[in-house]
Structure formats: C-alpha cells, structure tokens
C-alpha cells in the first residue's frame, strides 16, 4: 500500500500560516492613531476576502465549464468551492465586525462596503438554497451553474465597484480611502500581509480539495451499491 505523505503545497500552506501567526504579532507595524495595535488585523481579516474571491472565481470557472461540457465533475467543483468561499466570507464579516466595533464604535455601519458585501453573501446563500430545491442532478447542475455566473457577475460590482464610487465610506478601498497604499508605510506589513493572503488562499484550496475528494468517494459508493 502506498504510504501517505503531505504534498509540497500543503507543507507550504502550513509554513505560511505559521509565519502569519508568529510574524503577524511580533513584526513591528506603523504607529497609526485610531487603529493602534489593531492594524495587525489586516493580517487576518483581509486574507479572508482574498481567499473567498479565489474560491468564488474558481467556482464560476467550474460553472462555465459545466455548462459547456455537461460533466458532473465540474458541478462538484463549483459547489464545493462556493461552500468554502462562503465560509471565508462569513469569517471575513465576523472579523470585520469585531474590528469595526473597536475602530468605528459599532459592529455595523451603513457603509456601502459592508452592506454590499452582506448582500453578495446572501446572493451566494441563495445559490445553496436553489441547489437543494432540485432533485435531478443534471438539471440542478445546469440551473445552479447559470445562477452561479449571475451571482459572480453581481459580486464584482457589489464588492469592488460600487463602494469605490460611494461619496464617503469608512472602509479602506472605498470612497476616497486607500487600500494597499496603507502598506506602503511599512515594508514589514507587506511581507506579512502577502504571506497571509497566499497562506489563507492555499488553506481554502486545501479545504476544497478535501471536500471534493469526499464527494468523489460518495459518488463511488452510489455507483457501487
């Protein structure tokens, strides 16, 4: 029997995550008013959204692939990555709320970035509802793939375009606030934030791959019993 060994990219993921947690707290950060020490949350809050975007992008790619080839494998890709993406989105919202309570004084403000993100996540929640309402596999795949493309097409303007066009917004990357220019202050921050983004995105990939392999095992059981 072949022996189990971790693939190289999983080892890289582990190393990057350890670097994020250790470096995230020990490496010096710029001293900014209001943010104070919570500037370090950039290492944990931001990667959640990046990870979510990678999963949703992969999901919409798989959905298009499914519509073109009608291979149920791609339907699995689409739904499992959407699940993981949704999970990271919820994590991002929760971490963001805790952070907002510290810096803005309330858990939720009527900020375009916050509201639009919540709407986008609800649209993805409807994707799972839609899926569970259809019992025929092929039809479920087709309908949800079409819906997936719609959801992604709405997600991009909701999260990236509309908040930027807003008159004023508290959230960095919206209104007139800078996003990544914040990190130009500090080389150290860039170091950890990019590590964290890659690390958490790869963790998302790992989770998706585990879910996909479970799906495959389930399919195998269905076929053989």
Partner 1 sequence: MKIIKLFVWILTFLAPLTLPGQGSSSVQMADTFRQEGKIYVVVLVLVIILTGVILFLIRVDRKIFKLEKRIEKK
Among 87, 41, 18, 2, residue whose Cα is nearest residue 189: 41
Q: Which is nearer to partner 1, 1 or 129 (CB)?
A: 1
Tally: H helices and E strands in the chain:
7, 0
Least distance in Å: CB of 3 to partner 1? Answer: 9
Sequence-ordered list of residues with C-beta below 8 angstroms from that of 219, at least 6 positions apart, any chain: none
Q: What is the DSSP string of 105-147?
A: SSS----HHHHHHHHHHHHHHHHHHHHHT---HHHHHHHHHHH
Least distance in Å: CB of 172 to partner 1? Answer: 18
Answer for which of 57, 95, 103, 186 binds partner 1 (CB under 8 A) is 186
- Interacting residues with partner 1 between 201 and 220 (CB under 8 A): 206, 210, 213-214, 216-217, 220
Q: Which is nearer to partner 1, 125 or 191 (CB)?
A: 191
Answer for which of 9, 15, 106, 178 binds partner 1 (CB under 8 A) is 15
Answer for which of 21, 67, 125, 130 binds partner 1 (CB under 8 A) is 21
Residue window 23-52: x/- pattern of binding to partner 1, with contact defined by CB under 8 A: x-xxxxxxxxx--xx---------------
Instruction: Check the CA dihedral 184-190-196-201 and report its sign.
Output: positive
Answer for which of 104, 164, 188, 194 binds partner 1 (CB under 8 A) is 188
Residue 114 in contact with residue 127, Cβ under 8 Å?
no
Q: Which is nearer to partner 1, 181 or 216 (CB)?
A: 216
Pairwise CA distance, residues 213 & 215, whole Å: 5
Number of residues that bind partner 1 (CB under 8 A): 36
Could you say whether residue 1 binds partner 1 (CB under 8 A)?
yes
Q: What is the largest CA-CA distance in the chain?
A: 64
Residue 169 in contact with residue 110, Cβ under 8 Å?
no
Buried/exposed code over 85-106 (b: 16+ C-beta within 10 A; e: otherwise): bbbbbebbbebbeebbeeeeee
Q: Which is nearer to partner 1, 27 or 90 (CB)?
A: 27
Least distance in Å: CB of 186 to partner 1? Answer: 7
Q: Which residues bind partner 1 (CB under 8 A)?
A: 1-2, 4, 6, 10-11, 14-15, 17-19, 21-23, 25-33, 36-37, 186, 188, 191, 206, 210, 213-214, 216-217, 220, 224
């Amino acid at each position: 029997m072949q022996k189990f060994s971790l693939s190289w990219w999983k080892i890289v993921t582990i190393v990057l995550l350890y670097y994020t947690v250790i470096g995230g707290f020990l490496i010096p950060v710029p001293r900014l008013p209001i943010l104070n020490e919570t500037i370090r949350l950039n290492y944990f809050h931001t990667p959640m959204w990046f990870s979510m975007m990678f999963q949703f992008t992969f999901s919409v790619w798989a959905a298009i692939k499914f519509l073109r080839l009608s291979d149920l494998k791609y339907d699995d890709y689409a739904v499992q990555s959407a699940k993981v993406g949704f999970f990271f989105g919820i994590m991002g919202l929760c971490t963001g709320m805790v952070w907002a309570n510290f810096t803005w004084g309330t858990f939720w403000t009527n900020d375009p970035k916050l509201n639009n993100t919540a709407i986008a996540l609800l649209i993805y929640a409807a994707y799972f509802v839609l899926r569970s309402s259809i019992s025929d596999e092929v039809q479920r795949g087709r309908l949800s793939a079409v819906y997936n493309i719609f959801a992604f097409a709405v997600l991009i303007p909701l999260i990236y375009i509309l908040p930027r066009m807003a008159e004023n917004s508290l959230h960095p990357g919206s209104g007139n606030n800078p996003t990544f220019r914040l990190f130009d202050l500090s080389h150290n921050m860039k170091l950890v934030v990019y590590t964290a983004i890659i690390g958490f995105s790869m963790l998302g990939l790992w989770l998706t791959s585990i879910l996909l392999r479970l799906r495959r095992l389930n399919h195998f059981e269905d076929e053989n019993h």
